[in-house]
């Protein structure tokens, strides 16, 4: 009798363990999504599909075993198979610590959902011999939990708040103030009694993400603005259900040239906030301009990821300092990638534009977009970037006078397009460097770039920089070390501090401990 009870207990526990193990592997595989699929695609286009099938097999097999076969050896086999896949998974990706950050964002919601389903399955399948009264209580409790979750999702009864603080994007002669909210909402900016709305053709946009344009001369003069947002519980055709109103006030600091111009460049942060924000605190309250130079997020699969751009920028600027944003290759991928220009600095043309600081500095902001040609297996047939690059080539020619009359001129771009390795005909980058040389006649001071996860300075005329007559600076390393791809930590980062004083440009590589790793000075020559 005892042996029989022990056997039955073992069978039940084994079945539960097999089901849980197969679920864990399934969730691990799909939660990381694009973080692992890209590497698989490089091996074979069929690998993500094959991997998905392999991930599904254990859980399907275990469900069939629970319903029909009830074979303990099959349970044990599913446990072993699932654990082996989990070990393989961690072996493949343990060396990339930043993936842990990505998993916490994408994987945890999966586990919560699966956990709730697992509770229901446990009481419905694995524990059928509950006392009738207790079973009723359990059923009512589970039903109540599900009802509350559904109610919460339907009516947004969870707290409403600004999740990604104000970011003031600088684009040509205007500021584009962006922020995100926890729930769908309408948004507006108020400056000295004048209200600017996030609207399209008279209709206020209902979204978790907002971007509102204001004239730069107005904000520079008033130096204060307020975010006003109201949650929209149900966006019905008539009588929409409105919720709480939030107002946040901000102080704005226009660029002060009296003590020089202090600029900090960050790129390739890949959804890390702690380390990069510490590095960018080097200038403190003296910071005049923040450059977010691409690959700030891993891909654009959710509104939350776009809000991370605002979160990082706000952590550094508190909504009081202008920000320039460039699109990196990672921001070109994901189901919401096509909407990025709606929520970051852009013009009607796209995410390339000019920005000037008085008569001191002229900046040409370029969109290098994806690092692959449109027919590449990883992005075809979703990509049409060749057209964007050609349009920029024409735009550069049309703006031949972009840096005339300025003491300094910079080109801001994610990828170091003038360098060797970026001159593929299919991508068109090779034209840009030549055109800028012809247009500026030796008066471009510097190209500020990222992409390569390096901290280096490439002078013109060197083996790597044969086309341009201006140097290329790359300053983005996810480590407190100096050099090339040394270590990866979400709490460490090395970026670039750029200070313009008169005719001199002082460049410092600084890390998240505010230690200067290297510094040098460029001097502008007429």
Summarised one tens digit per residue, pLDDT across range 186-214 is 999 999 999 999 999 888 899 999 999 99
Highest mean pLDDT among 33-47, 114-128, 478-492: 478-492
Query: For residue 97, what pLDDT is reported?
Result: 43
Residue 513 CA neighbour count, 13 Å, CB half: 7
Integer CA distances (angstroms), 344 to 42, 224, 511, in order: 30, 21, 26
pLDDT above 70 as % of the chain: 71
Helix or strand holding residue 7 (H, E): helix 2-32
Exposed/middle/buried for residue 242 (C-beta within 10 Å: 0-12, 13-18, 19+): middle
**Between residues 261 and 94, which one has the greater pLDDT?**
261
Query: For residue 101, what pLDDT is reported?
Result: 54
Residue 274 in tokens: 């702690």
Summarised one tens digit per residue, pLDDT across range 409-465 is 999 999 988 887 776 555 667 678 777 877 766 678 899 999 988 888 888 888 888
Question: Please, what is the angle between helix 429-440 and helix 385-398, to 10°?
Answer: 10
Start-to-end Cα distance in the chain:
98
Integer CA distances (angstroms), 500 to 254, 257, 328, 411, in order: 16, 9, 26, 15
Query: For residue 156, what pLDDT is reported?
Result: 58
What distance in Å separates the CA atoms of residue 243 and residue 182, rounded to the nearest whole number?
Answer: 12
pTM of the complete model: 0.78
Query: pLDDT confidence of 396, banded at 50, 70, 90?
Result: confident
């Amino acid at each position: 009798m005892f042996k029989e009870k022990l056997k039955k207990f073992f069978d039940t526990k084994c079945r539960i363990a097999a089901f849980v193990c197969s679920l864990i592997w399934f969730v691990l595989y799909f939660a990381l999504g694009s973080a692992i699929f890209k590497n698989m695609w490089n091996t074979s286009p069929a690998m993500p599909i094959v991997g998905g099938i392999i991930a599904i097999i254990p859980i399907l097999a275990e469900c069939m075993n629970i319903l029909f076969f009830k074979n303990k050896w099959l349970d044990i086999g599913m446990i072993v198979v699932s654990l082996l896949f989990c070990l393989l998974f961690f072996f493949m990706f343990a060396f990339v610590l930043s993936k842990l950050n990505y998993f916490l964002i994408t994987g945890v919601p999966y586990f919560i959902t699966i956990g709730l389903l697992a509770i229901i399955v446990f009481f419905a399948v694995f524990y059928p011999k509950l006392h009738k009264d207790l079973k009723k209580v359990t059923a009512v409790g589970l039903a109540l939990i599900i009802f509350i979750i559904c109610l919460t999702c339907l009516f947004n009864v969870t707290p409403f708040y600004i999740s990604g603080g104000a970011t003031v994007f600088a684009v040509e002669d205007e500021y584009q103030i962006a922020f995100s909210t926890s729930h769908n909402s309408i948004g507006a900016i108020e400056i000295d009694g004048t209200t600017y709305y996030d609207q399209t053709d008279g209709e206020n946009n209902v979204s978790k993400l907002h971007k509102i344009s204001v004239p730069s001369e107005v904000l520079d003069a008033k130096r204060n603005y307020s975010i006003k947002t109201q949650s929209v519980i149900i966006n019905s055709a008539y009588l929409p259900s409105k919720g709480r109103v939030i107002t946040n006030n901000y102080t704005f600091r226009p660029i002060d040239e009296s003590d020089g111009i202090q600029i900090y460049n960050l790129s390739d942060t890949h959804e890390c906030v702690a380390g990069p924000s510490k590095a960018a605190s080097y200038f403190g309250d003296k910071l005049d301009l923040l450059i977010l130079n691409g690959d700030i997020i891993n891909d654009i699969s959710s509104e939350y990821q776009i809000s991370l751009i605002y979160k990082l920028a706000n952590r550094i600027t508190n909504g009081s300092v202008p920000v320039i944003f460039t699109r990196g290759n990672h921001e070109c991928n994901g189901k919401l990638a096509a909407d990025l220009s709606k929520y970051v600095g852009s013009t009607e043309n796209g995410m390339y534009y000019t920005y000037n600081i008085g008569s001191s500095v002229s900046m040409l902001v370029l969109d290098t977009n994806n690092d692959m040609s449109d027919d590449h297996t990883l992005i075809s047939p979703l990509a049409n970037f060749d057209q964007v690059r050609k349009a920029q080539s024409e735009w550069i020619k049309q703006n031949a006078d972009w840096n005339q009359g300025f003491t300094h001129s910079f080109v801001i771009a994610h990828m170091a397009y003038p360098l060797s390795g970026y001159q593929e005909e299919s991508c068109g980058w090779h034209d840009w460097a030549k055109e800028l040389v012809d247009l500026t006649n030796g008066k471009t001071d510097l190209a500020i770039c990222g992409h390569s996860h390096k901290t280096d300075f490439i002078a013109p005329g060197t083996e790597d920089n044969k086309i341009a007559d201006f140097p290329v600076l790359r300053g983005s390393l996810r480590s407190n070390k100096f050099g090339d791809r040394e270590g990866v930590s979400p709490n460490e980062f090395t970026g670039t501090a750029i200070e313009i004083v008169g005719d001199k440009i002082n460049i410092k590589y600084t890390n998240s401990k505010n230690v200067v790793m290297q510094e040098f000075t460029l001097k502008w020559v007429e």
